[in-house]
Amino acid sequence: MLVMNNVYDVIVVGGGASGLVAAATAAKGGCSVLLAEKMEKCGRKIRITGKGRCNITNMCEADAFLVKVRSGADFVRESIEALSPFDVRDMLERAGVRTVEERGRRLFPASGKAFDVADALVDMAYKAGAEIVCHSPVTGMTRSGDLWRIDMARRSVMSRSVVIATGGVSYRATGSTGDGYLFAHRLGHTIVPLRPSLVSLRVDAPMLAHVCENLRNVALSLVVEGREVARQMGEMTINGCVLEGAIVLRLSRDAVDALTDKKRVELHLSLKPALTQAKLGARIAREVEADGSLTVEGLLRRLVPRSLVRLVASVAGVRAVAAAKALTADERVRIADTLLCLVLPVVDYGGFAEAVTTAGGVSLDEVDPSSMQSLKAPGVYFTGETLDIDADTGGYNLQLAFSTGYLCGCHLARQKK
């Protein structure tokens, strides 16, 4: 990499997914690139994502992908078309990371090790010619004529362009402390209020206090002010009064927004979503008729996990120790209704420390979607989670980081040429 007169073509602030891809792409296109990372190594958040396995992306076409983008779908379309999930897979395969597609079209490294992905991205940037400096938090950005002065802990450098790829404010221990939002604000950008996204939800259900259960093939509806606004089917985890797992995370963004607006929020849990009220009633009748000595507890243990038996009985208003054959028609209906719709009032949500991603960020109205360049400060670019973009769980958010970083890097390389 040739640095003319100690002036870089590009300085990338942040060595996460979007920053590394932006640096590698710009450097490969002939730019002199310096990447400044505040932590001791790049890709800290990548190394812990997917519980250490790294859900790289989701292998679906652009239109199907964009349906899963909660904020900024139209904005990121050009990015996704420039670097698709299939392109990301091929890029990593060329870098030596074999991949495997799992249920739900989620792509993982075949090794099951997230650090393989992070190391490959760092290696890509190095091989492309980017200079990477760690332990180098950026403390200031100032315009000096046609150049930008970037002040770091131990040095200051000049650059023609700056890419702010500092991530959000979730998982702060990985270095995501919201620095980019401060830089953007100082440049005159609007920051859409930050909220934790893809996060656990806390419910007001004392009967769950000592329950720890993984549930599969259940349905969960988000109900705001009495109206169902979203529904998900799949897996979730009850950890006392805290609900976690894939379907909870997918509903959490809307739940957080509603709670922030002080609206009444409930989760309606269906433990038997494949059955109608009539079919479930018939199932209960068959179980009772087949075993005359069955108690209500015994009946419920055939229908739900043991840890939920007392809860279902209590909500349905029946005694767990009572004989099942003594249940009245109305009591059987109440049991079926409870199994099909267990109402759980939502009272709180997890914080940024546990949120998978950050909702909110630099307003998309102030960024060019074809280049990621600021419309307020020419020469400044924003990528990844710094922007007001976020998506469902399942590899979508990491893909957004890759794609916005790539499109930005391509634009910088074209400018160099």
pLDDT digits (tens, 9 = 90+) for 36-76: 999 999 999 999 998 899 999 999 999 999 999 999 999 99
Residue 393 has pLDDT above 70, yes or no: yes
Residue 2 has pLDDT above 80, yes or no: no
Residue 5 has pLDDT above 90, yes or no: no
Distance CA 14, CA 46 (A): 13
Contact, 352 vs 170, CB < 8 A? Answer: yes
Residues recorded for the chain: 417
pLDDT digits (tens, 9 = 90+) for 262-294: 999 999 999 999 999 999 999 999 999 999 899
Short-list 216, 207, 213, 242, CA closest to 307 = 213
pLDDT of residue 239: 97
Residue 1 has pLDDT above 80, yes or no: no
pLDDT of residue 172: 82
For residues 222-234, one letter each, b for 16 or more C-beta atoms within 10 angstroms of the residue's C-beta and e for the rest, the string is bbbeeeeeebbeb
Structural domains of the chain sorted by starting position, each given as residue range(s) with its CATH number in brackets: 7-196+357-416 (3.50.50.60), 200-350 (no CATH)
pLDDT digits (tens, 9 = 90+) for 190-222: 999 999 999 999 999 999 999 999 999 999 999
Short-list 157, 79, 115, CA closest to 373 = 79
Provide the pLDDT confidence category of residue 173 given band limits of 50, 70 and 90.
Answer: confident
Strands 265-270 and 342-349: antiparallel
pLDDT of residue 3: 67
Distance CA 377, CA 365 (A): 13
Residue 353 has pLDDT above 70, yes or no: yes
Residue holding tokens 């060019």?
Answer: 368
pLDDT of residue 292: 86
Neighbour count for residue 118 (Cβ, 10 Å): 25
CA dihedral 292, 328, 303, 346 (to 10 degrees): -160
Short-list 183, 165, 152, CA closest to 43 = 165
Short-list 161, 156, 235, CA closest to 9 = 161
Distances (CA, A) of 236 to 107, 212, 217, 220, 263: 21, 11, 9, 9, 24
Residue 4 has pLDDT above 80, yes or no: no
pLDDT of residue 153: 82
| Mean pLDDT, residues 102-119 | 97
Distance CA 97, CA 89 (A): 9
What are 228's two structure tokens? Answer: 């169902």
Provide the pLDDT confidence category of residue 174 given band limits of 50, 70 and 90.
Answer: confident
| Mean pLDDT, residues 298-313 | 95
pLDDT of residue 39: 95
pLDDT of residue 197: 93
The amino acid present at 404, given as its one-letter code, is T
pLDDT of residue 6: 79
pLDDT digits (tens, 9 = 90+) for 72-106: 999 999 999 999 999 999 999 999 999 999 999 99
Please give, one letter per residue, the 3-state secondary structure of the chain. CCCECCEEEEEEECCCHHHHHHHHHHHHCCCCEEEECCCCCCCHHHHHCCCCCCCCEECCCHHHHHHCEEECHHHHHHHHHHCCHHHHHHHHHHCCCCEEEEHHHEEEECCCCHHHHHHHHHHHHHHHCCEEECCCCEEEEEEECCEEEEEECCCEEEEEEEEECCCCCCCHHHCCCCHHHHHHHHCCCCEEEEEEECCCEEECCHHHCCCEEEEEEEEEEEEECCEEEEEEEEEEEEECCEEECHHHHHHHHHHHHHHHCCCCEEEEEECCCCCCHHHHHHHHHHHHHHCCCCEHHHHHHCCCCHHHHHHHHHHHCCCCCCEHHHCCHHHHHHHHHHHHCEEEEEEEECCCCCCCEEEEEECHHHECCCCCEECCCCCEEECHHHECCEECCCCHHHHHHHHHHHHHHHHHHHHHC
Let me know if 104 is exposed, middle or buried by CB neighbors in 10 A (0-12, 13-18, 19+): middle
Percent of the chain exceeding pLDDT 70 equals 99
Neighbour count for residue 414 (Cβ, 10 Å): 12
Distance CA 238, CA 248 (A): 10
What are 291's two structure tokens? Answer: 């075993």
Phi, psi dihedrals of residue 230, rounded to the nearest 5°: -165, 155
